[in-house]
Amino acid sequence: MSEDRKNIIEVKHLKAVVREEGKETTLLHDSSFVVHEGECLGILGESGSGKSLTMQAFMGLLDEHFTITGEVLFEGKDLLKESGESLRRLRGSKLAMVMQNPMTSFDPLLRIEEQVVETFVEHTDWSRSEIVKRTLTLFDKLQIRDPAEALKKYPHQLSGGMLQRIMIGIALLLEPRLLIADEPTTALDALTQFEVLKEFRKVKDGGTAMVFITHDLGVASYIADRIVVMNKGRIVDTGTFHEIVDKAKDQYTRLLIEKKTAVMRRYEAVMKGGAASA
């Protein structure tokens, strides 16, 4: 299906080495993958497998203790060769991210509305009233109760789940070429998760490429077109969801699938209930 689609990002032989106390440790080993236009690549693995580190490495988010090598071609441009300022301009416009911890993504001293408006003034030509109107419409779809009131609050006045949905809403409204989501639904209850994932799928169907990092097999089955499985900084398996579940080549993948299958079945039961009531 993806052969005739444009490559949005192509990661080639990505390697991350960290230097601590005079010792070098390789945390990412020769990772390579491609994400096409309108496709979602799921990165599946347990904590410490290298999922988030992969995203941080190619987005220029690691500090000077790390050495990153390889190529990360985004629409033909190698992100590893871009300056910090160039990457900053790309992030939030053509590249958007939803981070795992929403508290670190908001300024505690500013109301949510000011932070939303500031983001879109920098990256769009929308007026303030248009920004607020579009934001309220999407927040309502993301199950944010009383969106207008939420915009008036400071981050500490909102729950982690609410902040996560707001962060997801901002990323979706930016309509990036590539959207990277790092465990974006972990803090959400199952039914809200379903509504949020539906919005992610709409964005993907509109042509946005996505990298969706998760440890949840059920989420991967719903959102991802293809999956790579990571273990100890290495890609150990790759394929469609059914190929990973039914024909996993790697022993770690088979053990991971067995461990997650019961959870996934419970998740799918909730998803079907959500779909029936939607």
And the tokens for 121?
Answer: 């003034």
Q: Which residues of the chain have pLDDT under 70?
A: 1-4, 262-268, 271-278
Which pairs count as long-range contacts for 170-175, CB under 8 Å and 24+ apart, including other chains?
Answer: 170/116, 170/119, 170/135, 171/96, 171/97, 171/98, 172/138, 172/199, 172/200, 172/203, 173/120, 173/134, 173/135, 173/138, 174/92, 174/93, 174/96, 174/119, 174/120, 174/123, 174/124, 175/203, 175/206, 175/208
Per-residue confidence (pLDDT) for residue 168, from 0 to 100:
86
Q: What is the pLDDT of residues 45-88, one digit of tens each?
A: 888 899 999 999 988 889 889 999 999 999 878 999 988 888 88
Instruction: Check residue 278 and give its pLDDT.
Output: 47
Q: Break the chain into its structural domains and give their ranges.
A: 37-62+83-277
- The three-class DSSP label of residue 2 is coil
Looking at residue 5, what is its pLDDT?
Answer: 76
pLDDT value, residue 264: 63
Q: Are 98 and 184 in contact (CB under 8 A)?
A: yes
Predicted pLDDT at 224: 94
37-62+83-277 CATH pick, 3.40.50.300, 3.10.129.10, 2.102.10.10, 3.30.70.580: 3.40.50.300
